[in-house]
């Protein structure tokens, strides 16, 4: 049984419990996010797609304001405290919006929907960022290359379960109930985080490096994450990689919004439609994470796996420009998200296992939230500009394909650099 487990998942027997709990933790996080995300899309579209472009700018500003507050929390409190505080804060926010939607429905309008859109967009990135920061803190580089794909399976199951739950409940019970359910999932995530941090770490290397990581206070300043990124070419490279990822994802996002907007549906029906689309895109992700990702990382290395998503994007935009159909878009988005979540994301998170603890939380928070939202804002404005110029899908392809080539080169460099940071004599392979 142990041999079979290692063959298919690369998990050692002594790591099984920690991997399971980490996967359960991610299941609750993604369930909370994905059960609410269709509602975010539906409420945000009340004033049209052009308004959403400016909501991306508002989200960027709020993210910039929240980052130093989070870094201050990391500097002043031990790990479990700032993890619990962050998820509890977002859970209370969900309860607030639930009360607003149910107790004062007559006062809910487009403005309230836009406020929720911005709030959820900030919540979305901080929730996943904090999860992966804990994973890179809990597991070593060697463990991350074997285990992160299996851990991601829990998130994929949550990303499948959340949209399914939303599609079932949105019409008969209304969108507000989804927020209450998401708050419950976040509290379950907090319990999982506590369970995981109390499981003995079986990796002696990580134990020797950080013998009291759970009780130690990281310290430092609120702006330490930003300064660390500026000083480090490695972190700058990760930042640019994430920036391009966000730009490409936003181009796809607005293309999908325009196609769904043309259907002229009511809020609950749009919520249901977005949920069904999210559900369909998870199936390929699950297959990749279950049977392929850890073996790809182990056999070909981080550089190769980081380059796969840009390659997918290049071919996807070419195909979309040639076919120009909703079916082609759904196929492209399913492929993009499958490779992004199933292969690229576990590989990218291993990059943070070779940086100091402060950078795993502070620099990672800056990159995964502010830098990502900067890419969102750039992507939304770029898509709008191309649309106003009448360039359509062909214009998107002309812009996205050269960008994907740069992106792929950067992924290869990051993989090589990480290998050199771990072992200066290593020769990274493709």
pTM for the structure as a whole: 0.79
Low-confidence ranges of the chain (pLDDT < 70): 1-10, 38-51, 104-112, 201-216, 259-284, 287-295, 326, 390-391, 422-430
Torsion of CA 29, 31, 33, 35, to 10 degrees: -160
For residue 414, the model assigns a pLDDT of 93
For residue 207, the model assigns a pLDDT of 46
- Tokens standing for residue 38: 């269709």
Give the pLDDT confidence of 74-125 residue by residue, as tens digits: 888 888 899 999 999 999 998 988 887 777 665 555 566 778 888 888 888 8
For residue 367, the model assigns a pLDDT of 92
Cα–Cα dist 302/416, whole Å? 8
Q: Tell me the pLDDT of the chain averaged across its residues.
A: 80
Q: How far is CA 385 from CA 61, 155, 165, 247, 300, in A?
A: 21, 35, 36, 14, 39
- What does DSSP assign to residue 368? I
DSSP 7-54: HHH---GGGHHHHHHHHHHHHHHHHHHHHHHHHHHHHHGGG-HHHHHH
Residues composing the chain: 430
Cα–Cα dist 218/364, whole Å? 14
User: Is-contact 75 220, C-beta < 8 A?
Assistant: yes
Torsion of CA 289, 292, 297, 302, to 10 degrees: -70
Q: What domains, with CATH codes, occur in the chain? A: 10-201+216-422 (1.20.1250.20)
Cα–Cα dist 55/68, whole Å? 21
Give the pLDDT confidence of 18-51 residue by residue, as tens digits: 999 999 999 999 999 988 876 666 665 556 666 6
Rg of the chain in Å (alpha carbons): 21
Beta strands in 235-371 (DSSP E): none
For residue 23, the model assigns a pLDDT of 93
For residue 295, the model assigns a pLDDT of 66
Cα–Cα dist 414/422, whole Å? 12
Q: Which residues contact 212 (CB under 8 A, 6 or more apart)?
A: none
For residue 274, the model assigns a pLDDT of 60
User: Is-contact 135 18, C-beta < 8 A?
Assistant: no
For residue 86, the model assigns a pLDDT of 93
């Amino acid at each position: 049984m142990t041999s079979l487990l290692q063959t298919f998942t690369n998990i050692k027997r002594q790591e099984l419990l920690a991997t399971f709990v980490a996967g359960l933790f991610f299941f609750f996080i993604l369930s909370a996010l994905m059960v609410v995300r269709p509602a975010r899309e539906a409420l945000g579209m009340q004033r049209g797609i052009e308004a959403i472009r400016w909501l991306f700018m508002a989200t960027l500003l709020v993210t910039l304001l929240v980052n130093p507050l989070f870094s201050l929390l990391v500097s002043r409190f031990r790990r479990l405290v700032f993890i619990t505080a962050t998820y509890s804060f977002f859970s209370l926010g969900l309860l607030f919006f639930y009360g607003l939607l149910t107790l004062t429905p007559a006062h809910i309008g487009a403005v309230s929907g836009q406020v929720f859109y911005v709030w959820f967009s900030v919540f979305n990135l901080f929730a996943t960022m904090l999860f992966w920061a804990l994973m890179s803190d809990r597991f070593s580089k060697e463990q991350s290359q074997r285990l992160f794909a299996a851990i991601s399976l829990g998130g994929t199951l949550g990303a499948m379960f959340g949209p399914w739950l939303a599609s079932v409940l949105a019409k008969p019970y209304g969108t507000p109930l989804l927020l209450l359910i998401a708050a419950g999932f976040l509290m379950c995530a907090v319990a999982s985080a506590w369970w995981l941090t109390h499981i003995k770490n079986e990796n002696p290397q990580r134990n020797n490096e950080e013998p009291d990581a759970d009780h130690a206070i990281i310290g430092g300043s609120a702006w330490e994450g930003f300064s660390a990124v500026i000083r480090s070419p490695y972190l700058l490279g990760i930042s640019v990689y994430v920036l391009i990822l966000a730009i490409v994802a936003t181009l796809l996002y607005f293309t999908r919004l325009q196609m769904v907007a043309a259907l002229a549906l009511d809020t609950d029906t749009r919520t249901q439609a977005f949920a069904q689309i999210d559900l369909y895109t998870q199936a390929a992700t699950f297959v990749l994470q279950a049977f392929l990702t850890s073996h790809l990382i182990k056999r070909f290395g981080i550089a190769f796996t980081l380059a796969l998503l840009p390659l997918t994007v290049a071919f996807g935009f070419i195909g979309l420009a040639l076919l120009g159909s909703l079916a082609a878009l759904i196929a492209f988005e399913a492929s993009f998200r499958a490779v992004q979540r199933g292969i690229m994301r576990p590989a990218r998170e291993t990059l943070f296992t070779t940086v100091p603890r402060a950078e795993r939380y502070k620099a990672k928070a800056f990159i995964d939230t502010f830098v990502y939202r900067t890419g969102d804002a750039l992507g939304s404005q770029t898509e709008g500009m191309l649309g106003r110029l009448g360039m359509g899908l062909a214009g998107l392809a002309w812009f996205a394909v050269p960008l994907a080539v740069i992106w792929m080169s950067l992924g290869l460099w990051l993989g090589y650099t990480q290998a050199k940071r771990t072992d200066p004599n290593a020769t990274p392979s493709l």
